[in-house]
Amino acid sequence: MGSLLHPVYFPNIRTMAHLARGPVTWEVWDNYQKQTYRNRCYICADRGRQMLNIPIRHTGKQNGRQLYREVCPDNSYPWQRQHWRGLQTAYRSAPFFEFYEADLEPLFTTRFESLLELNLASTALLCDLLGLGMPQEQTESYREEPEGLTDRRRLVDAKSDTGSGLPPYPQVFGERHGFIGNVSCLDLLFNEGPSAREYLLQLPIS
């Protein structure tokens, strides 16, 4: 049975494990919620777990709700340049960062008017670098209880996230902080390179 997932910004390892197994359908008709991976990801930096946050341009609707597909990044703030510099600083000594650097940089110089479009683009790029197929199926309406799909939309919640139970792999600052699990799959890619795909395929998913 396929999985139903939210498109997120450079998905974490647990989410990418589901993408690696497939098939996946994207939830694109939900309401935007704060404190989720819709507009953030986490990396491993010199000070430990570090958040890369995308500022959002709010519409100020009376009911306070906004469809995820209507949310726009606030491009008046140079968040893309900040994120790229953050990745360079955190991973310039990682074994495979230079190998993927040229493929990743254009995403941080391309202007995106839609958060959903940005997240799908970041996921598609990550899938391509990992040698995985990018899911194309999207929902046509919002359903509280989807039919024919395993509902894994809870993986979007950053507050309840846990990195426990993941097999450790070498990280740039591992000797300083110990293993930090379930950060963005970029971390796995920069540290493990081509072996990252096999790591994802061996993770148990339930």
Exposure string of 12-29, with b = 16+ CB inside 10 Å and e = fewer, is bbbbbbbbbeeebbbbbe
| Contact present, 6 and 154 (Cβ < 8 Å) | no
| Contact present, 71 and 32 (Cβ < 8 Å) | yes
Instruction: Give which of 146, 136, 140, 80 is closest to 110, Cα–Cα.
Output: 80
Q: pLDDT tens track of the chain, all 206 residues?
A: 899 999 999 999 999 999 999 899 999 999 999 999 999 999 999 999 999 999 999 765 655 689 999 999 999 999 999 999 999 999 999 999 999 999 999 999 999 999 999 999 999 999 999 999 999 999 999 999 999 999 999 999 998 766 678 999 999 999 999 999 999 999 999 999 999 999 999 998 86
Q: By residue range, what is the domain housing residue 178?
A: 2-202
Exposure string of 99-128, with b = 16+ CB inside 10 Å and e = fewer, is ebeeebeebeeeebeebbebbbbbbbbbbe
Number of domains in the chain: 1
Taking the complete model, does pTM exceed 0.75, yes or no? Answer: yes
